[in-house]
Structure formats: C-alpha cells, structure tokens
Amino acid sequence: MDRRFFIYRKVLTYLCHLMQQPALYTVLSPKLLSLYPVKDAVVVIIDVFRATSTIATALYNGAHKIYPVDSVEQCKALGSQLNAITAGERDGKVIEGLQYGNSPAEYPRTFIEGKTMVLTTTNGTKLLHMALREGASEVITGSFPNLQAVCDFLVAQNKPVILGCSAWKDRFNLEDTLFAGAVIDAIGQHFTIHCDSSLMAVEMYRQHQNDMYQFIRKTTHWHRLANYGLEKDLEYCVTPNVANTLCIYRDNALVAQ
Amino acid sequence: MDRRFFIYRKVLTYLCHLMQQPALYTVLSPKLLSLYPVKDAVVVIIDVFRATSTIATALYNGAHKIYPVDSVEQCKALGSQLNAITAGERDGKVIEGLQYGNSPAEYPRTFIEGKTMVLTTTNGTKLLHMALREGASEVITGSFPNLQAVCDFLVAQNKPVILGCSAWKDRFNLEDTLFAGAVIDAIGQHFTIHCDSSLMAVEMYRQHQNDMYQFIRKTTHWHRLANYGLEKDLEYCVTPNVANTLCIYRDNALVAQ
C-alpha cells in the first residue's frame, strides 16, 4: 500500500510537471507566424545566413547596439542621426550608400567594440518587427554562433517559445530549420511540444549535426551565396558557440545581455 | 584527342539533359503557395489524413465522380442537385446534414461503384481551388494509396511540378511532407530541384520509409485523429499503392484516369 502511494505520487508529480511546461513551436516562414501563439511568448528570430550570425558576432565582439531596420533609406537616415556605422548587403555586395556588409568576418573586436551599428536585412528584420507587432514578450536573435546563450535564456525564462525561421523571401529554408532543431535537441525536454515543424526540425538536426558542413552545401541558400565566394562565412555561420552572447531587443536595438 | 571529344560531348549532353528537366517544388502550406511558380505547372494536392487518401480509394473502387467543395452548404446543395451522396467530417464525426464521413473504409466497391459523391474537406479543397486560380495546367490529388499512379503521371507529363501539402489549418504537417518526399524519392531524378522543402521532404521520407507506422504516431494529426478511434484508418492512409488510381480534376470534379 505504501509503495503504491509513492508510485502514484511520483507519477502525479511527473504529470503535473509536464502540464506546467510552457509550449514551444517552430515557425518555418514569416508567412506562417500569425498561425501560432506569439502573444506573450519569447520569440527567437533565426536568420542563420547571415543576419543573426553577424549580430551575435558583432555583439560578442563588443558592439554597443545594433539597430535592425527594414530599408536602406532607414539605414542611412538612422546611421546619420546616431553617427553609427551602416551595414547591409544585396547579392553578396555592400549596398550602395552603406559602409559595411553582412558578413560576421567584418566585425572583429578591433573594429566593432563600442560602436553602434544600423543593419538592414531582407528576411530577419521583417520577422522581428512582425513578432513585436504580434505581442511577443521578448525578442532575441538566434544563430549557431550563440546557440548556447539562446538555450540558457529560454530555459531560464520558462515562458512559451516561438522559434521563428526568417526563411528566404518567405520560402522555407533548411539552415534556419536546422538551428531550430539544434535548440530543440538541447532543451526540448523543458517544453511541451505538439508541433510537426519542431518534430521535423529536431530530426533534421540530429540527422545532420555531424555532417553539417557537408549537408549545408546542398541548400539553396548555400548555392546562392557560395557564388559570391562566401563559403568560409557560411561555414562559420553553422559553427556552434563561437560568439556565445545573448542578443536581446531593447528600445529598438539589439544589445548583448 | 578523339577520347576528349567524346567525353566533352557526353558531359554536354548530360548538362543539356539536366537543363531541360522541368522544375519541381514542394509547398509546405497553402499560405506559401503564391511564392512558387504554379502557373502552367502540374499541381499535386496532398491531404494524406485523409481527404486525398479517401478520394483515391473511392475512385479506385469505381466512384463515378467526386466533387470537392469548400463548405457544408455547398455540399448539401450540390449533393441534392446531382442526386449524389454527400460526405464530410468534423472532429471525427459525419457532419450533421451529410450522409457519410471522410474515411476511406466507408467507400468499398460494393458501396461506391458508379456513384457520384460531393465531399467537403477543410484543408485539401481550399488548396485545390487556390491552385486552379493560380493557373495550374493540371490538378491531381496524391496520397500514399495512389503514390505510383501519381509518379507515373508526373514523369509522363514532363512539365513543372508543384507538390502541394494541404497542411492543417495552414500549419506545416509531417504526413503530407512525407508523401511529397516519397514522390521525390521515386522520381526526383526526372526534375530539376532547387528547393529546400523538397530536400527536407525526401530526407524525412528516406529516414522513415521503413518505420512509417511508428513514426506517423508522433505527428500532431495522428494524436488529433487517434482520439476518435481512427488508428486503422490512419495506417491505411500511409500504405503505398493500395488504391493505385490517378485522380485528376476535370470539369469541377475529380475522376479516375
């Protein structure tokens, strides 16, 4: 009788624990964001090639603040207003009128420390602003270079999570999905996950975590960017924890925390 | 010199062959359809649990025509006008006012042969009408029960292909993706594929083709439908080639070809 009592209690405690775990969803494209419960969730903006990898690297290397903006015009205007450096790329080249590109290699500590930066990107910034409009409680950016920092923050927050893939012009992409899978692989057990995107993402990650450099060469985005001679950049962007800083959105800018 | 000439010619022939292959894309949700080149493509509507599995089964078993409609009202009106049987389910039960459900098991030859059916479904019908509006050259339905018929048709057509997953309320689902992967696994070599969704779908299929009955139990849709006691139905829906008929859209109805 005593033994059964303890077993029941253990099972009940476990079930209560499971029921209290916050939900986690993976959103595969900005176009799908509105289908998921964003309000009051922590949203992780994922743009592996290369915006969020560059953001992590620049903040890790001591950048003061990074303002993500939608358009080149905004980038120039805000850059001039804040006396900040301006950055953005199209087709693998620095955009005319801006100063720097979207490569993490451009932002070593010797250059970026203490500087403020205004960055325009195509996919990630749009998703970030959508998440804010939908009432996210926190917005952070995620990439392989700051994987561990993202995971630690999400577990500590103990709130619902949306892993938001920036995709490419709204089309599903693999590199963002693999990062979502890496997060779920690491901390999925802390969340309630009823979400096929998450199930797929973690399977794809587990399948390819040990041949990432090879597998990533098959993706459409790799082909697009490798044409511009960016292979080294892209390999860096799928390397975990080389710029392990939490990048959080505060007062219109991303800052290290 | 002669030998080099033959090698060059072989490589050139191969490249020309590759360049002539039509494109194939996998679309993971109706919300993403407009991002892909649907015009003049053959669109495969995939709604594995269970609309397109039921359509394949009913047509394989001799149904005369199946009219897919968006709403219960349309279903009743058209059913009455054509003196056809009406079918549709919500939450695992026949919809009030309709006669039959959305289970392939309800449509054996002894019952359905020669009959016309009006079917209302949530996800698949919407995608089918979207594909027609976007100018698809042909619309067919695909499911594991008619996998081979779908593959044979796509290869014979030699046109661009869109594998359209109906998803669940626009959210990504695994069962439709696995079917897209099965098609790509079988006939991908006949198409030019620069599409991360297709790459992911075929990887997921290859990973799970031999444990499909187990893996499918992990999906959200399985959990939703298994609650209604539909396990046998769902296992049937991931069984290849048990109702191997091509289901093609002609004059507002799906017919066998």
257 residues of chain B, pLDDT tens digit each: 567 766 776 666 666 555 689 999 999 999 999 999 999 999 999 999 999 999 999 999 999 999 999 999 999 999 999 999 999 988 778 999 999 999 999 999 999 999 999 999 888 988 999 999 999 999 999 999 999 999 999 999 999 999 999 999 999 999 999 999 999 999 999 999 999 999 999 999 999 999 999 999 999 988 888 888 888 999 999 999 999 999 999 999 999 99
AA identity, residue B215? F
Examine the pLDDT at A18 and tell me if it is beyond 80.
no
Q: Domain for residue A13, yes or no?
A: no
Q: Do A31 and B31 touch (CB under 8 A)?
A: yes
- Inter-residue contact A57 to A107 (CB < 8 Å): yes
List the single residue in A with minimal CA-CA distance to B26: A172
Question: By residue range, what is the domain housing residue A120?
Answer: 22-256
Tokens of B7: 């090698």
pLDDT tens digit string along A61-119? 999 999 999 999 999 999 999 999 999 988 778 999 999 999 999 999 999 999 999 99
CATH of the domain at B137: 3.90.1560.10
Q: Within a domain: residue A71?
A: yes
* Residue contact A174–B199, C-beta within 8 A: yes
Establish if A39 belongs to a structural domain: yes
In this prediction the pTM is 0.92
Return the pLDDT at A59: 98
Q: How far apart are CA A222 and CA A174, in angstroms?
A: 10
- The answer to whether A80 and A58 have CB atoms below 8 angstroms apart is no
SS3 label, residue A9: helix
Domain count, chain A: 1
Encoded amino acid at A125, one letter = T
Query: Is A2 inside a domain boundary?
Result: no
Per the domain annotation, does A1 fall within a domain?
no
Distance CA B31, CA B42 (A): 18
Residue A213 lies in a domain: yes
Q: A210 lies in a domain?
A: yes
Q: In angstroms, rounded to a whole number, what is the distance separating the alpha carbons of residues A59 and A256?
A: 6
Q: Do B172 and A197 touch (CB under 8 A)?
A: yes
Chain B residue nearest residue A208, CA to CA: B203
In a domain, A50, yes or no: yes
CA–CA min distance B221, chain A (Å): 9
Q: State whether residue B3 sits within 8 Å of chain A by CB.
A: no
